[in-house]
A and B are shown apart, each in its own frame.
Chain A
Amino acid sequence: DAKTTQPPSMDCAEGRAANLPCNHSTISGNEYVYWYRQIHSQGPQYIIHGLKNNETNEMASLIITEDRKSSTLILPHATLRDTAVYYCTSQGGSEKLVFGKGTKLTVNP
């Protein structure tokens, strides 16, 4: 079973920030939070990961709460090409990834 919970769907206006929440209340101390996205019929794409500090890369920002029980993925200026299913997972070391059903993000023009 997935160790994370996400809303099934979200909408965002093009050009606005998309904030995707994830709950991982049972996360262990050595587990990282990972975000992937999957555009229709393609393989999942790695976005970002973090342990306890906030992280930013060219794709997105990851905000992890101090108690590490939840996180938010932020796409600062969403485009139509960001429409995808976004998966939040938690994993320690080389453990297997366990995917839930993710959040289907629709970016509207």
Chain B
Amino acid sequence: DAGVTQSPTHLIKTRGQQVTLRCSPKSGHDTVSWYQQALGQGPQFIFQYYEEEERQRGNFPDRFSGHQFPNYSSELNVNALLLGDSALYLCASSPTYWAASYEQYFGPGTRLTVT
């Protein structure tokens, strides 16, 4: 049973460029959340997708957008990259959006470096 997978593993971009990160949830999971983790900090919630809709959003600008596909996989897009966007981007999936308890399973992350 494959866990959460993310691609690419590492990415280097230039300021002003756009980037797309991809995530495949754990088998049987229908909800995907994205987090940004700066060096030395805990992960910060970006947004969550269920049934192809953004359900919750953290304190991130509109430059951060996402999408969920019918097979539950998801993309994170960041436009007009800034140096401060350099971070580890984590995807997490959960068994079901409507459960009372809600453990999340994280992928290995994508390390984005903006130069």
Residues in A lying within 8 Å of B, measured CB to CB: 2, 30, 32, 34, 36, 41-46, 49, 51, 87, 91, 93-102
Contact = CB atoms under 8 A, between A and B. Distances in A.
Interface residues of B, number: 31
Contacts of B92: 43-44, 97
Contacts of B58: 96
Contacts of B109: 42-43
A14 B51 CA distance: 45
A94 B4 contact: no
A60 to B, nearest CB: 13
B107 A94 contact: no
A32 B101 contact: yes
A46 B101 CA distance: 13
7 contacts: A2-B42, A32-B100, A43-B106, A93-B99, A93-B102, A94-B50, A97-B35
A91 B104 CA distance: 11
Given A93-B99, A94-B31, A94-B48, A46 B42 contact: no
